[in-house]
């Protein structure tokens, strides 16, 4: 057996650019199968998810959820009380939770797996080479997993106003602001807006659209907005900031309509853009646009030996889709013949917004079905019909299941309520394995659980199938049985 080449020398099976979820999974998987892998990261190991995405945000959300429950203690028969907390300690706890997970993504761990880790900016110098801090790395295959970053809206003077994004707020916000303007009402804006509101900050969410959570049905968005407003959050919808400036240490935003908005701090949560500019993709002959690197169903770019995965290559900018895409790339890197390679299947993609209550969805919602002219039947079950939700005082919310017109094939599900992100996965598996709503209805569910919501949706579907003619037949059969 040949001795292992020196770090950076020779030819790698794969050079992976980016140590976020897609890059880490690809590097670890390929090395685990015996491949020689180089992993390049210019910033922090773990990428968005660990450092300024899922992990820190959900740690803050868990603290904010408890704060909300303490404020609502009377719902559970307790005496009314105000939660006692220190803003700084909430953030300290978040960072401690993040630090506990960080070793899983560390350079030391990946080097122990046999991955050569390089820290620095990667740029292609040819289709077969990238350069990192003056060192050239050659490989049979490359995987672009460079991730994405926060979009800055085109507001005059915005760069002159101190603002946070999700990439800075978890570590650079040192003191509790009295007021916060959130630019954007997508999942990040709504999640963090609710967190800060529960931490005692006066929050105003600004969005150019006419509803929050634009990818959800309007009834879902309106339900969530009412819940947020009941907690004290304010919303300015259908208006756009046109100019920003600092006055007396506070941010002032002039709006297209209405009075100016003023706050102590600003959070920009107006979407994300893929990191493609510094990669010198022209030198590699890789096609890309502002939407990211162009890939085919096998996740190959315009250069078949160069792959892309994660935010930089997908319309679904989620950690779990990055992980899923990376697993497809690992297989395709290994397979020598094209017909053995695997297409990435993103036909059933779950996602969740971790507000309280949560919003989770898979497949089509009503707006999507109407846009695609897909005929459907709608099953809607309120959470107040689920006994466990009632006794837990978590009965505000609902599930909407879209089935193909006249049948039980599940086209999509939207869940709003406690544990929605977890409850969704019974429907995700059903859609993946082509299990109909009728089969869910005939499956025993433990009582009392939140999971009964899925069975109740199936029961309601079955009741809708009971036509007047069928009911007459059953009535006749019962009458016949009594006479016999």
In the chain, what are the domain boundaries?
A: 11-149+274-340, 158-272, 357-468
What's residue 467's pLDDT? 64
Residue-wise pLDDT tens digits, 121-164: 999 999 999 999 999 999 999 999 999 999 999 999 999 999 99
Q: Say which CATH topology domain 158-272 has.
A: FAD/NAD(P)-binding domain (3.50.50)
Give the separation between CA 421 and CA 440, rounded to whole angstroms: 18
Q: What is the mean pLDDT of residues 393-411?
A: 97
- For residue 236, the cross-strand partners are 206
Above 80 in pLDDT, residue 469? no
Tokens 């700084």 correspond to 88
When pLDDT is averaged across residues 74-87 and rounded to a whole number, the result is 95
Homologous superfamily in CATH for domain 357-468? FAD/NAD-linked reductase, C-terminal dimerisation domain (3.30.390.30)
- Tokens 């890939």 sit on residue: 295
Looking at residue 105, what is its pLDDT? 96
pLDDT reading at 309 higher than 60: yes
Say which CATH superfamily domain 11-149+274-340 falls into: FAD/NAD(P)-binding domain (3.50.50.60)
Rounded CA separation 460/454 (Å) = 10
Say what the pTM is: 0.93
Assess whether the region 11-149+274-340 and the region 158-272 belong to the same CATH fold: yes
Enclosing H/E stretch for 33: none
φ/ψ of 81, rounded to 5, equals -155, 160
The H or E element that residue 210 is part of is none
């Amino acid at each position: 057996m040949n001795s292992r080449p020196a770090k950076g020398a020779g030819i790698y099976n794969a050079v992976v650019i980016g140590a976020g979820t897609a890059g880490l999974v690809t590097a670890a998987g390929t090395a685990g199968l015996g491949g020689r892998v180089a992993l390049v990261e210019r910033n922090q190991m773990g990428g968005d998810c660990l450092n300024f995405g899922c992990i820190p945000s959900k740690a803050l959300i868990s603290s904010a959820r408890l704060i909300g429950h303490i404020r609502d203690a009377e719902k559970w028969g307790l005496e009314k009380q105000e939660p006692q907390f220190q803003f700084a300690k909430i953030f300290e706890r978040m960072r401690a939770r993040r630090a506990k997970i960080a070793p899983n993504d560390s350079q030391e761990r990946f080097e122990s797996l046999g991955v050569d880790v390089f820290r620095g900016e990667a740029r292609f110098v040819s289709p077969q080479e990238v350069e990192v801090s003056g060192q050239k790395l050659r490989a049979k295959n490359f995987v672009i997993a460079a991730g994405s970053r926060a979009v800055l809206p085109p507001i005059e003077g915005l760069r002159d106003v101190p603002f946070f994004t999700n990439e800075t707020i978890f570590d650079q916000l040192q003191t509790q602001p009295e007021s916060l303007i959130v630019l954007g009402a997508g999942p990040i804006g709504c999640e963090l807006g609710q967190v800060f509101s529960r931490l005692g900050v006066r929050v105003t969410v600004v969005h150019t659209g006419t509803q929050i959570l634009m990818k959800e049905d309007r009834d879902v968005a309106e339900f969530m907005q009412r819940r947020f407003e009941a907690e004290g959050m304010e919303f300015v919808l259908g208006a756009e900031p046109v100019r920003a400036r600092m006055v007396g240490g506070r941010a002032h935003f002039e709006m297209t309509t209405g009075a100016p908005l003023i706050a102590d701090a600003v959070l920009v949560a107006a979407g994300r853009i893929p990191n493609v500019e510094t990669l010198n993709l022209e030198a590699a002959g890789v096609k890309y646009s502002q939407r990211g690197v162009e890939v085919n169903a096998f996740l190959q770019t315009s250069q078949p030996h160069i792959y892309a995965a994660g935010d930089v290559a997908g319309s679904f900018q989620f950690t779990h889709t990055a992980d899923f895409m990376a697993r497809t790339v690992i297989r395709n890197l290994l397979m020598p013949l094209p017909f053995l390679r695997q297409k990435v299947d993103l036909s059933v993609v779950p996602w969740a917004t971790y507000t309280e209550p949560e919003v989770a969805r898979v497949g089509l919602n009503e707006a999507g079905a109407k846009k695609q002219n897909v005929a459907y039947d709608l099953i809607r079950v309120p959470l107040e019909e689920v006994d466990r939700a009632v006794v837990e005082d978590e009965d505000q919310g609902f599930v909407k299941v879209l089935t193909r017109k006249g049948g039980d094939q599940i086209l999509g599900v939207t869940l709003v309520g406690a544990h929605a992100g977890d409850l969704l996965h019974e429907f995700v598996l059903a859609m993946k394995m082509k299990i109909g709503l009728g089969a869910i209805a005939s499956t025993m569910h433990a009582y009392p659980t939140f999971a009964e919501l899925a069975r109740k949706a199936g029961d309601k579907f079955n009741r809708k199938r009971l036509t007047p003619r069928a009911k007459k037949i059953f009535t006749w059969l019962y009458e016949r049985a009594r006479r016999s």
